[in-house]
């Protein structure tokens, strides 16, 4: 909070309402008490009509403050009666804000003037100073509010000292009101500055939380896109590639070897049928079709090996070890997709005669090996020239599960691809 800003509680503060209500009630109670005391102690005094009239005028002014000064005010029992508020601050909104600020200043001047006159006639009305401190602190800028509090305090002290001179010097009348006013003002200003700091922190936290949610949403979208990309590559794209190769081979053999051409066409039809099943499963829940109906990973890999075996490529499946518990669905799906992608690469790039799928169930991990006797390649270069999406997709799948993908190959020496995924420790 700077010295140029009003000392005010934001409208969003849920405690501003009850604090203003307490101050309103306190003001009217003190005003009525002071008037009652004056009437009891000074019956028939010449100034009594003026005191009564001024007390009623002050009460009406205080009560009608929101109507007479259209600033950020509230009626007694509502929210804060502070006139001026942020509308009187620099950078207010146009002439309307300036008009509210002037009306608020006139209202506060009328209230303080009426009260000062009452204190001059009857010093007991000085007790109303505390609620007026609050009104001044809420209505004016920090420096102006402190000056007003000091002037009000000095006037109260002067009136009380003048009244009690016949009893001698009373140090409590000289020093107690300034001490109380200073303490109350310091506590109020400190509380508001702490509230401003807390409000700033909350605003920053809300902004940070909003940014974090947006970042998480964006990262989630990118992760989902990557997952969909890998699913499409390992299923539909690989199947379509196989169909294309088979149909091209059938076209070349159609005149010279019609039997082989028909076998290629039938194989392509089988792959198309499986791709259709995969597409429907893909639309439904993205789970591999071979794992549907409760089939385990072992059975799914064996089915894959049988389906991908052809006249030119023989694929066998071997299982090593016995699983102690069912593998998580994510692990089964990832390994099956890796096997599908690896066999598609073997069929398209390796020119291999045989390939082997080996699933090893170890104590702390499950390992899938795909080996072929094809032409091999340099693992530092993408196989097939520009076609390098398969291995990155496999590596991403394994890394998402905390595993490691390794590729061992050399030109002319075949290829061994190994995916090792750790198993979660059993719960005790």
Question: What domains are there in the chain, each with its CATH number?
Answer: 16-169 (no CATH), 295-428 (3.30.565.10)
What is the spatial distance between Cα 70 and Cα 207, in angstroms, rounded to a whole number?
A: 33
Instruction: Determine contact, residues 131/21, Cβ cutoff 8 Å.
Output: no
For the sheet containing 314-320, what is the strand order? Answer: 314-320, 354-361, 365-372, 415-422, 404-409
Report CA-CA distances (Å) from 204 to 69, 201, 210.
34, 5, 10
Give pTM, 2 decimals. Answer: 0.41
Sign of CA dihedral 379, 382, 384, 388: positive
CA angle 369, 373, 375 (to 5 degrees): 115
What is the spatial distance between Cα 77 and Cα 239, in angstroms, rounded to a whole number?
A: 76
List for the chain the helix, strand, coil content (%; round to 5): 65, 10, 25
Question: In this structure, how many other beta carbons lie within 10 angstroms of the beta carbon of residue 187?
Answer: 10
Residue-level pLDDT, tens digit, the chain, 428 residues: 445 444 444 444 556 667 777 777 888 888 888 888 888 888 878 888 888 888 898 888 888 765 444 344 333 333 333 333 433 334 444 444 555 667 777 888 888 888 888 888 888 788 777 788 777 777 777 787 788 888 887 777 777 766 665 555 555 555 666 776 677 777 777 777 787 888 888 888 888 888 888 888 788 777 767 767 776 776 677 778 778 888 888 888 888 888 888 888 888 888 787 777 777 766 555 556 667 666 688 888 998 898 888 888 899 999 998 877 788 888 888 898 899 888 888 888 888 999 999 999 988 899 999 999 999 888 877 544 434 567 888 888 898 889 999 999 988 889 999 999 998 754 44
Q: How far separated are the first and last CA of the chain, in Å rounded?
A: 56
Instruction: Determine contact, residues 74/65, Cβ cutoff 8 Å.
Output: no
> Pairing between strand 365-372 and 354-361?
antiparallel
User: Nearest 5°: phi and psi at 423?
Assistant: -95, 140
């Amino acid at each position: 909070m700077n010295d140029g800003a009003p000392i005010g509680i934001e409208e969003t503060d849920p405690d501003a309402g009850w604090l203003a209500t307490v101050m309103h009630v306190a003001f009217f109670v003190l005003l009525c008490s002071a008037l009652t005391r004056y009437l009891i102690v000074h019956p028939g005094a010449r100034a009594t009509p003026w005191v009564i009239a001024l007390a009623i005028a002050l009460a009406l002014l205080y009560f009608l403050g929101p109507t007479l000064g259209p600033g950020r005010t509230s009626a007694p029992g509502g929210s804060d009666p502070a006139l001026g508020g942020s509308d009187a601050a620099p950078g207010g909104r146009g002439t309307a804000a300036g008009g509210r600020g002037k009306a608020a200043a006139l209202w506060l001047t009328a209230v303080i003037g009426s009260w000062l006159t009452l204190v001059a006639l009857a010093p007991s009305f000085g007790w109303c100073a505390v609620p007026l401190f609050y009104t001044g602190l809420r209505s004016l800028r920090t420096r102006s509010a402190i000056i007003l509090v000091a002037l009000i305090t000095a006037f109260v002290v002067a009136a009380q000292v003048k009244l009690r001179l016949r009893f001698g010097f009373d140090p409590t009348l000289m020093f107690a009101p300034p001490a109380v006013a200073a303490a109350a003002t310091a506590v109020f200003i400190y509380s508001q500055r702490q509230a401003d700091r807390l409000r700033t922190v909350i605003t920053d936290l809300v902004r940070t939380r909003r940014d974090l949610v947006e970042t998480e949403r964006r990262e989630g979208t990118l992760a989902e896109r990557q997952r969909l990309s890998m699913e499409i590559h390992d299923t539909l794209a690989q199947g379509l590639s196989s169909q294309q190769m088979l149909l091209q081979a059938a076209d070349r053999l159609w005149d010279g070897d019609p039997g082989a051409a028909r076998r290629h066409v039938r194989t392509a039809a089988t792959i198309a049928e499986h791709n259709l099943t995969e597409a429907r499963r893909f639309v439904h829940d993205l789970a591999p079709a071979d794992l549907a109906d409760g089939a385990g990973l072992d059975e799914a890999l064996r089915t894959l090996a049988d389906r991908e075996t052809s006249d030119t490529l023989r694929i066998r499946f071997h299982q090593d070890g016995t699983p102690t518990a069912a593998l998580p669905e994510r692990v089964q799906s990832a390994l099956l997709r890796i096997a599908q992608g690896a066999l598609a690469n073997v069929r398209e790039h390796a020119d291999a005669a045989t390939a082997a799928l080996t699933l090893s169930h170890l104590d702390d991990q499950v390992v899938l090996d795909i080996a072929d006797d094809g032409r091999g390649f340099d693992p530092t270069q993408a196989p097939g020239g520009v076609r390098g999406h398969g291995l990155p997709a496999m590596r991403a799948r394994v890394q998402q599960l905390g595993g490691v993908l390794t590729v061992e190959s050399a030109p002319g020496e075949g290829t061994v691809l190994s995916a090792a995924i750790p198993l979660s420790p059993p719960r005790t």
